[in-house]
Every structure is written in C-alpha cells, then in structure tokens.
Chains A and B, each alone.
Chain A
Amino acid sequence: MELLNKADMGTTGTGMKVSMFVTCIGDAVYPRIAEAMARLLARVGVKLEFPQGQTCCGQPAFNSGYWAEARRSATTLLEAFADSDFVIGPSGSCIGMIHHYPKLFEQDPVRLAMAEDLKAKSYEFTQFLVQVLGVSDLGAVFPHKVTYHPSCHGSRLLGIREEPMTLLHNVKGMELVPLPFAEDCCGFGGTFAVKMADISGAMVTEKADHVLDTSAEVLTGLDMACLMNIAGQLRHRRQPVRVMHLAELLYEGVSGA
C-alpha cells in the first residue's frame, strides 16, 4: 500500500521518481545510447534520475553459475533503485535479469522483498514508452532501409514483440525489411561467447549473413550486447551496415541529425 501513497503523491505535484538504469555496457561502452534514451524520454515529458550507485545487473556472474558474485552486483541495483517508482533500461536482457532477482535472493527475506519490488517496477525502454506512456509515434523521420533483430531475452522472456514494431512502423520515410530467421539467437550469451567461442562465432556469422541478405543499411534492436556482437562480426567482415540501438535510431529521427 506504500505504492498507492506514492501514486497519490504524484497527484499532489511532487512527481514520481523515474530512474534510468543505463546498464554497465551502456555506461562504459555506449553512453550515446543511454543518452538517446534519456533525451527521448525527456521529449515525452519524463523527468529522469540517474542514481550513481548502480553498476551492473550481475548477469555475467549469474549465468555462469556464480550467484554469490551476482548478488554483490545486483545489490547495487536493489539499493540504487530502492525508492524509485519506475526503472527504465535500454536492454531486454538486463531488465530480464532483474526478473531473476527474486530467485537470486530467495534465501534473503529483506532483499527478496526489494527484489520483488524492483522486478515489478522495471521496464525495458520500449515497454515503458508504449505500455506505460502510451506513446507509439515519436514523430521520427529516418529515410533508410532498416532491419530489426529481436533479442531473445526481451522477446521470449519479457514478451516484448509488438512495442518496437509499433514504434518502427510509425517512423516516417523508413523502409523496414524483415530479417530472415530473425528470432534466432545472435550467439552472444555473455561468457558463452568467450567460453564457447567457436560455436558462438558460427552463430554470429550466420546472423550477420542474414542481416546482409536483407541489404539493409541499418540494423537495429533493443539490446546493445547483442548489437555489439553482430556489429563486431560485421566490422570484422568490413561490412558497412550501421548498427544502432532503437533509441539511437529514434533520437536521430526526431532530432534530424
């Protein structure tokens, strides 16, 4: 019922606390994507916070079986977002990891409650835009041939399928071409790409083949880890396909860059 009180606070004008979860890759490697997300959300009237205590969702450790280590990273998010009303991240996979927190903290009653709370208030960027804000057209213009890779965790585990499509279909001037075998994993899988490098390499090679088959100028998606993987393979093959997170694409489309 604490949440209801917070909602009421919103009506009194104090506003709600909407926090950015930029993810470790977003912070360290792709700050431009986190920035594009922030600018788009600001355009539709959302006042954002960036709690500096956040680091990483802990997924690399969690998926490799190192749960004690994963809890240490995850705790930074539990604490950084403890008093947030909404937590928005540009990654289906990292938000998906937050959905594992109740399991990760099942032996720790205090953190379990925080984990349930965080799970309930975390949203992937397009999920928040379309489902919560009801925004499906940002007025973006992007006169290019684009193809879209639906990353596994966002689409399969969080069920984010329609949201990015809705946003993409409303971009003016853009030709959206379907990616063959779109739902196949790109082969990233975190430490999988390091431990099983050759299997992962075969998978990303196949994914890049499919991207090239579309002859799209731009590949977009919702997970920068997957995009980093595919972009890395395309660059390795010296292919000029531009790889952009959907937030970047939309922001470029609205700012006329």
Chain B
Amino acid sequence: MSSVKERADLALNNDFLRKAVRFTTERLRDGKRKAADDHGNWEEWRERGRQIRLHTIAHLDYYLDRFAEQARANGAHVHFASTGAEAVQIALEVAARKEAHTVVKSKSMVSEELHINRALEEAGVEAVETDLGEYIIQLAGEAPSHIIIPAIHKNRYQIAQLLSREAGEELPPETSVLAGFVRRKLRAKFLEADIGMTGCNFAIAETGSIVLFENEGNARMVSTVPKTQITFMGMERIIPSWSDLEVMATLLPRSATGQKLTVYMSGITGPRRTADGDGPEEMHIIILDNGRSEQLGDPEFQELLNCIRCGACLNACPVYRHIGGHAYGGTYSGPIGAVLTPALNKNVAEWDDIASASSLCGACYEACPVKIPLHDMLVYLRRRKVEQGYGNKLETAGMKGFAAVTSNSKRFHRALKAGRVLQRVVVRNGEISARIGPLKGWNRYRVAPSLANQPFRERWDTLQHELRASVAQTVTGAAAQERMKAALHKRAARPIDRKEGHSYDE
C-alpha cells in the first residue's frame, strides 16, 4: 500500500484538484460560519449537541437495545453485525432471498466501509448509487473523497465524459444538462429496483425510527419506491428522542452545508402500514459495529463515537484543502478520517502514516459541532504507535537525543554552544539555505535561521542588572503588584479542573 506522503504528492501536483477542493471547502466553510452566526448562541448549541452525544454513548446498551426492540415493534427486521463482512453477508442473503436484480442506494458512509457495491456486483446484483456525486464516482470507479461532496475532486469536463459514456451520446459540460440526464436515467432505476439501500443519519431509540438528511430526494426515492428497504446503521447513530433531533437538525445541516435544514429530512418508522400505497413492504435494519465498540471505555477515543458525519472538519482543515480526500487512503478522509480509520481498524502498523499528516492546528476541533478533540486524538494515536514499538527508527533516535539534551539545562546550554560552532559551515548572513540533514525538506520551501551568537541564558545576567535598576521604584510597579495579587487570589479560589476528557474553554 502506498504511503500518505506518496498519495499527498500526487494531489499536490494536481493543480485542478487543489483548486477544486479549495474552492468548495472555502464556500462550505464560509457558509457554515454564516449559518452558525445567524442562528446565534452557537457555542451553547455545540455544547448541547456534545452532551446529548456523550450521554447517549455512555448509555449505549440501553438506547441501542431500546431502538432495536422498538424498530421490531414497528415491523422492521433488525440485524446485528460485528464486522463489515457480516453486514455484507446479511444484505446479500436478503438480496438472494428476494431474487433481486437491481439495488438502488442513497449515500451512506457506512456502506462505503463495507464495499457493498463490489459484493453485490460479484453476486450478480446491479448496485446503483443514486446521489448525483456518488453516481459520478461510481461511474469513475473511485471512492468518495469528501463525506458530503463525494465528487469534489472531479470537474464538469470529466463528469461530462463519464456521463456521455453512460448516455451513449456526447453530453455538453453543463450542469443542468448533466443533472437532467442523471434524473431521467436514475428515475427508471428507482422504478425497476427490487431493493433500496440507505444509510442512517440518526436512529431514534424511543420510537425505533431512522432519520435521513439529504438534498436531492434520492434517499426518499430509495425508501419509498422499492418493495424492500435495507438500512445500514453504525451502532453509534442513536439519539434518545425526537426532541434531541432538534439539536442534531440544528447542528448537522448548518455544519455540513450552511443550510438551515437540508431540503429533505425524513423520519422513517418501520415498513409501510397495511393500507399504505407506497413505502417498502419489508424493511431490514443492519446495525454495524466494525470497530466502533473498541472506542467505548477508552477515555482518549470514546468521543469519536459522537461524530455526526457533517464534514465540517474536512472543510476547515488546511491539510485536507491541499491534498484532498483520497490521500487519506481510507473510507473517511480529513481530520475525522485520520483518526477514525486507524481507530476503527486497530492497525498499528499504519497508524502513523495518516495520523502524521496534520499540523495539529485545531481547526477541526473548532469546526466540530459536537466538539470532538480530533487534534488531541491524533497525538494519542502517534503515542500509541510509539509505545507499541512501531516508531520510525530515525525519529526514535532523534527523540532520544532531544530528550538527552533538553532534560538538563547544562547539557542544553552545551549543545547550543556546540551548535554555534558547527553551524559556521553553513550559515550565510544569519541564514541557512543548504538542504542538508533534517533541513532537507524545510529548506525546499524556506531558509532556516541560524542559532544566535549569544543565547538568552548568556544575556540574562547583564540584562537583569539593567532592568532591576529601572523597575523597583516606579509607580506602575505598585499597580502591577496589585493586579498580580488580585490574579493570585482569583486563581486560589478556582478549583483545579480535573474533569474527564478535554477542556479548552476557560
């Protein structure tokens, strides 16, 4: 398998891709910001969303069990799958029993985890993605590169080419023409399909309902027209009640696209009622673990299960903007993918690969509607890799050297002196531009500064005498003392915050 570095290099050399990703993520990011500001009290809503998710996950056995029982009472068939392979197996069995020829799918990240399309095709069942973006990348034989905008990396000319091949005629690269073709083509598919497959944005424990958010109407088609519906659902998608849905419906669309609500929000409670004229006659809900339960009880990663898959962290991430989604090499991309992929897979050998592709700037945390500290989690992943002995050998040696030097101020000082001598070979006008040693990558884009002729610790004695003379008798001195004293009192009165998880809000 290629490394994130090699995949990123491909992206960095693809000017169109970078422009397209930058253009779209910037629009989404601005839209989100405006929507959050317009709504107001965003921090309070984020905290509310986080609390609801924390509460649900902390009591997941109760809520998931309740959901399953209620969904059964609605007439749905509920299945549980520990692994992706098990989920695929159940879906294939249903398809075989139904003698299905065609399956229409609405967008579902869980189904991407399962690679269900490939499995269906191998079983001789045609699987058709019906979200416009998903349909495009299915025709291209690719994976989505963004949670919300799967074909973010394709331009209209590439799309026109793909759709022309499908149409058997030359289609112009005009959005309305291309979308019109897809509407006609997929309308026929909806009407002939035997099975509709959906994902699940939220599952409501109290009533056994599933909730889908979308803009195109294809998820409604998939859950209205075919006689059988199969819904894939991550085991953590639960919320307790419809009242809680108000918070999620406030956070999700605003964070994803800046909309007040997606065009369609559908609550589906079981298969069609006996006298209904449409809706599926039979409904299967496949609840998937696939590594999710590994996060439970792990204080560093449990909050990962709070994710509502809005994609806001991708749009905020400066690394994602430059390398796009495919460079992450997994089903999920961007900051959430960089943490989720290794966390779900427990694949130590590949951890560092993706987790290293972050400057830890925290834009993801700031954008996250349920405040998942992804930037901290990336560091935890890196630490676990090192602890388990999978650290890069050169880096490990370097870090041991770093610790040896910085664990003692005298050694640190001696190292500075030595460095000053050694750098003479490469310093020109106070700068180093030679691409040598660890500066090889750095100096491809920058020059490096040299070590100062006299470090601060050597300057201090002189400076201190100079400063002492001026400070003691000034009037501001007394004022400063008073202010500092007040700060000390305030600090002493504040209990030390030792609550679980992270806390930056002080």
Q: Which residues from chain A sit less than 8 Å from chain B, CB to CB? A: 1, 3-4, 6-7, 10-11, 15-16, 18, 22, 24, 26-32, 34-35, 38-39, 42-48, 50, 52-56, 58, 60-70, 72-73, 75-76, 80, 85-86, 99, 102, 116, 120-121, 131-134, 152-153, 156-159, 183-185, 187-206, 228-229, 231-233, 235-236
Contact = CB atoms under 8 A, between A and B. Distances in A.
Contacts of A32: 452
Interface string B391-418: 1000110011011011111001000100
Contacts of B491: 3, 120-121
B191 interface: no
Contacts of B506: 159
B144 to A, nearest CB: 21
A3 B488 contact: yes
A10 B485 contact: yes
Contacts of A204: 445-446
A248 to B, nearest CB: 14
Interface residues of B, number: 95
Contact of A22 (B318, B408, B431, B456): B456
B471 A199 contact: no
Interface of B: 4-5, 8-9, 12, 18, 318-319, 322-323, 352, 356-363, 365-366, 379, 381-387, 391, 395-396, 399-400, 402-403, 405-409, 412, 416, 419, 431, 433, 438, 440-452, 454-457, 459-460, 463-464, 467-468, 470-472, 474-481, 483-485, 487-489, 491-492, 494, 496, 498, 504-506
Contacts, number: 283
A69 B363 contact: no
Given A3-B492, A197-B445, A198-B12, A156 B412 contact: no
B475 to A, nearest CB: 8
Nearest to B449: A29
Contacts of A152: 359-363
B483 A201 contact: no
Contacts of A55: 405-409, 412
A69 B9 CA distance: 31
Contacts of B446: 201, 204, 229, 232-233, 235-236
B488 A6 contact: yes
B327 to A, nearest CB: 9
B480 A156 contact: no
28 contacts: A7-B485, A11-B485, A27-B457, A43-B470, A45-B471, A47-B471, A52-B409, A52-B457, A61-B403, A65-B386, A73-B407, A86-B484, A116-B498, A121-B491, A132-B484, A156-B365, A157-B362, A188-B359, A196-B8, A197-B445, A199-B319, A199-B357, A201-B441, A201-B446, A203-B319, A204-B446, A232-B442, A236-B446
A30 B484 contact: no
Given A22-B456, A42-B467, A66 B396 contact: yes
Contacts of B384: 65
Nearest to B359: A189
Nearest to A151: B361
B449 A38 contact: no
Nearest to B364: A156
Contacts of A54: 409
Contacts of B489: 4, 7
A73 B480 contact: no
Given A53-B409, A196-B357, A232-B442, 18 more contacts: A7-B489, A16-B481, A27-B416, A27-B455, A29-B451, A65-B385, A66-B383, A73-B406, A75-B407, A102-B498, A133-B483, A133-B484, A159-B506, A183-B363, A198-B8, A198-B12, A199-B8, A202-B322
A62 B431 CA distance: 28
